[in-house]
Structure 1
Amino acid sequence: MPTISVITPVHAPSVQHLKDAYASLVSQEMPSGWTWEWIVQEDGQNGILKGALPNDPHISVGQNRNGGPGVTRSLALSRASGELIKSFDADDILTPGALKRDIAAFADPAISWTVSSALDLLPDGSTVSYDTDPPEGVIRRGELVKYWLENDFRSPVMSATICIRREVLYALGGWMALPASEDTALMLCANATVNGYFISTPGLHYRKWPGQVTQDAAHSEQVEREARTQLIRDRVLALLKMDTGVPVVDGLP
C-alpha cells in the first residue's frame, strides 16, 4: 500500500499541541489505496512523549539525544517507510485534504516536491494569509532560490508545508543539521535541484504562540542567523551548479 510518512520533531513546549496535530492528521481523507504513518521523534531523551499520543498503529514514537530539529527529523526518517515524506511541526494543524492534495501533485513524475499555501493561526483562533504566495502550478528549478536571495533571505512560501519524494530527500542528505531553518534549507536545496509544485489551497494552520522555536530569542540572534543563512546559501549555490537535467530559471548566479 503506498504510504506518506509524516515526520514530526517534538520538544517539551510543543507536547501540549500534539492532540490537535493528531486530530488534524487522523481526519485526513486519503486517496484510494493510500495510507499515512506518523513518525514522531523527541529531540531529547526525557520521555516527554510517554502518554502524549494515542495507541494508534499508524504512529511510531522515538527519541534521540538533543540535536535540534534538523537532526531529529533526519533520525526519524530512519523509521519512515513511505515513498513520500511530509514535514509536519508538532504545534501546527493540517487542513482538510492537505495530504490528498500533496499526493495528487506527484501524479506528474516531473514533480519532486510540493509546498502549499498556509495560514497563520493566531492565539485568538483567527487566521491570517500570506501575500507572497505564487500562483498554483509548477515551481521551476531555482525560482524560490532567486526570490530568497533577492529578498533578504526570506521565503515567499511556507517551507513547513513541504512534501518530498523519498529518493530526492535521501539524495539531498535529509535535513541540514541546523538549530532552526531546516525546512527552509530543505525546500531551497530541492528547488536548486529539481522542479516542485505549489498548491494554492491552504494546507496548514501555522500556530503562532510564545513557545514556538521561531519565537525564541536565539532564533533571531544575529551571529547564528548569519551562520545559518551562509550555510544554506552556499549549499544551494553549489547545487545550482550541478547538471541535473532540469533547466534553471534566468538571473541566478
Structure 2
Amino acid sequence: MTVLSVVTAIHPGALPYLGAAYQSLTSQVLPDGWTWEWCIQEDGVDVGARAALPDPTDPRIRIGSSRKGGPAVARTMALARSTGSLIKVLDADDELTTGALARDISALEAHPRIGWTTSRVLDLMPDGSLQEFEGDPAPGLIAREAVLTHWREHHRPQVHPATLCVRRDLVTLLGGWMALPASEDTGLLTALSVISEGYFTREPGLRYRKHPGQSTAHPDHGQGAEWAARMSIIEARADALAALINHS
C-alpha cells in the first residue's frame, strides 16, 4: 500500500474540534492501493489529543508530542515521524470535504512533473454556515513562481496553504515549515511554488473553521512589526530560491 501522511499540529485550544477533523478524515475514500496515516503532533506535553478523539485506538493514528514551539515546529516533528510519499496538511480545527484526498492523489498521479496541490476552501462560520473564499485562480496547473508573483503584489497567497498536499521529497528538501510564529504554511507554499509547478482543484477540499481561538484571529497576525518581519522573510527566502534556480 502507498501511504499518504496527514500532518496535524494540536494545541489545547483546538481540542474541541479534533473529533470533527477525524470524522472528515475517516469519510475519505482513497484510490485502490492507497491508505492514509494521521500524524498528530502535540505542541507541548500533556495536550490531551488522545482523549479528544472518538476512536484513539484507530491504528492509522500516530500521536506524538514535543516541547512547545508553535505549529511550525509541531508540523515538522510530525513530518519526521511520518512514512508517506505524500504529505497532506490538516489543521486540527478544520475539516476535509468528501473526496479531498482522492482528488489530491489523482492530480499528482496525472501530472508527474508537479510537486504539490491545493484546492478551493469554504469558510466554516461559527453558526455552521459556509462562505466562499474569494480570489481563487483558474483550476488546473499553476506555473512555477506564480504564487510568488501573487505574493509580491498582494502579500497573501494565491491559493490556500491549509489545503496543501505535497510530495515528501520537496517538503523535506525545504526543511519542513518555516520557523515563524504564524504564516509558516504560507512560507512553505511560497517556497514550493518556486521549485515546482503546482495544481489547483476548483472543487472545495476544506472547510476552514472560523473561531476566536485560531491563530489568524491574533491582533499581530495581519499588522505590526511581527507581521512585517514575517512577510519580509517569506519573500526573501522565495527570492533567494528563485535566484538560485534561475541562474543554475
TM-score (norm 2): 0.96
Matched residue type, 2:222: S
Q: State the partner residue of 2:225.
A: 223
Q: State the partner residue of 1:189.
A: 191
Q: Mean Cα displacement is larger for which, 97-106 or 170-179?
A: 170-179
Q: State the partner residue of 2:160.
A: 158
Q: How far is the alpha carbon of 1:218 from its aligned partner?
A: 3.4
Contact kept in structure 1, 2:70 and 2:181, CA below 8 Å = yes
Q: How far is the alpha carbon of 1:244 from its aligned partner?
A: 6.9
Choose the corresponding residue for 1:134, options 134, 137, 149.
Answer: 137
Q: How far is the alpha carbon of 1:46 from its aligned partner?
A: 2.5
The structure with the largest helix share of the pair is: 2
1:104 aligns with 2:106: yes
Q: State the partner residue of 1:28.
A: 28
CA–CA separation in structure 1 for the residues paired with 2:76 and 2:115: 19
Q: State the partner residue of 2:10.
A: 10
Q: Deviations over 1:77-135 (max 9, x none)?
A: 11100000001000000000000000001112111000101010101111111221111
Choose the corresponding residue for 2:151, options 148, 161, 164.
Answer: 148
Q: Deviations over 1:23-81 (max 9, x none)?
A: 00001011011000000011111342241222100000011111111111001111100
CA–CA separation in structure 1 for the residues paired with 2:150 and 2:126: 30
Evaluate the alpha carbon distance shift between residue 57 and residue 145 of structure 1 in structure 2; reply closer, same or farther with a 3 A threshold: same
1:114 aligns with 2:114: no
Query: Any gaps of 5 or more consecutive residues in structure 1?
Result: 247-253
Q: How far is the alpha carbon of 1:243 from its aligned partner?
A: 2.4
Q: How far is the alpha carbon of 1:155 from its aligned partner?
A: 1.6
Contact kept in structure 2, 1:194 and 1:244, CA below 8 Å = no
Evaluate the alpha carbon distance shift between residue 154 and residue 64 of structure 1 in structure 2; reply closer, same or farther with a 3 A threshold: same
Q: Deviations over 1:132-176 (max 9, x none)?
A: 11111111011011011111x112321110000000111111111
TM-score (norm 1): 0.94
Q: Mean Cα displacement is larger for which, 5-14 or 45-54?
A: 45-54
- Identical residues among aligned pairs (%): 47
Contact kept in structure 2, 1:123 and 1:209, CA below 8 Å = yes
CA–CA separation in structure 1 for the residues paired with 2:51 and 2:147: 40
Evaluate the alpha carbon distance shift between residue 245 and residue 114 of structure 1 in structure 2; reply closer, same or farther with a 3 A threshold: farther
Question: What is the count of residue pairs matched by the alignment?
Answer: 245
Q: How far is the alpha carbon of 1:240 from its aligned partner?
A: 0.8
CA–CA separation in structure 2 for the residues paired with 1:50 and 1:144: 37
Choose the corresponding residue for 2:245, options 243, 246, 249.
Answer: 243
Matched residue type, 2:150: Y
Q: State the partner residue of 2:211.
A: 209
Q: State the partner residue of 1:250.
A: none
CA–CA separation in structure 1 for the residues paired with 2:158 and 2:193: 13
CA–CA separation in structure 2 for the residues paired with 1:133 and 1:198: 9
CA–CA separation in structure 2 for the residues paired with 1:218 and 1:44: 22
Q: How far is the alpha carbon of 1:177 from its aligned partner?
A: 1.0
CA–CA separation in structure 2 for the residues paired with 1:118 and 1:8: 18
Q: State the partner residue of 1:249.
A: none
Q: State the partner residue of 2:84.
A: 82
